[in-house]
Amino acid sequence: MKKENGKVSIAVIRRLPRYYRHLSELRQQGAVRISSNALGKAMGLTASQIRQDLFCFGGFGQQGYGYNVEKLRDEIGDILGINRGHTAVVLGVGNLGHALIQNFKFGNNGFRVEAAFDIDDDVIGTTVGNIPVYSIDELDDYLVRHRVDVGVITVPRNVAPLMAERLVNGGVKGLWNFANVELKLPEAEHVVVENVHFADSLLTLSYMISKPENDDGEEE
């Protein structure tokens, strides 16, 4: 029943986490089944798009019934790789690194953070939310001895490219980049970069609140 042959477009992939989130909420609210129509209404998508998206991975529903909330959620979680025991390390335990380690639920997304690295002697040797903080000097050695899937980059932008390179050389599969630079990787290494560009996000918002020259509604 599975398909998953033809490359799935990035647009579809980026909707999967949203499906997952909504289905998780529905499940918590005790919903057992949902139709593509109802899910679409809740998420602001067309039912057609949802069915088309899921069709990329095979059929998870049942005609005349709809989708089982829990089953669909779990299937999507599986597709997203939530059950693969992914590991991560955090580079840079400044404000942002700290915030991520302490507040962000890596576990909910299938990741285990196993170590953090910094240059600041004041934090090296401490733990942040149970995660040990090592000197950045130990990074390369650490990567040799541990399988790390993702490096989280929360260092200042000027050192980000260097850190990226070391992570890639150490064999990580992906970079989660919070530094406001486009990382160019050592070629041909086949490492995926996912950027979280705060500035781009805020500027997009800036554009959207700026558009109407006259601030009184009345458009379209």
Partner DNA sequence: TAGATTGTTAATCGATTAACAATC
Binding site for its own copies (CB under 8 A): 13-14, 16-18, 20-22, 43, 79-82, 84, 86, 94-96, 98-100, 102-106, 108-111, 149-150, 173-174, 176, 180, 182, 190, 192, 194, 196-210, 217
Are 100 and 131 within 8 A, CB to CB?
A: no
CB of 181 to DNA, least distance (A): 22
Give the position of tokens 């918590």. Answer: 28
Question: Which amino acid is residue 46, in one-letter code?
Answer: T
206: phi then psi, degrees, rounded to nearest 5: -55, -45
Binding of DNA by 9 (CB under 7 A): yes
In 56-159, which residue ranges form alpha helices assigned H by DSSP? Answer: 69-80, 95-103, 139-145
User: Among residues 47 and 196, whose Cβ is nearest to its own copies?
Assistant: 196
**Residues of span 17-46 touching DNA by CB under 7 A:** 35-37, 45-46
Residue 12's alpha-carbon distances to 26, 76, 121, 191, 194, in angstroms, are 21, 12, 44, 20, 16
CB of 169 to DNA, least distance (A): 31
Measured in residues, the chain has a length of: 220
CB of 101 to its own copies, least distance (A): 9
The entry of DNA, its own copies, none near residue 55 (CB within 5 to 8 angstroms by kind) is: DNA
Binding mask 46-85 for DNA (x = CB under 7 A): xxxx-xx-xx--xxxxxxxxxx------------------
Secondary element (H or E) of residue 52: helix 47-55
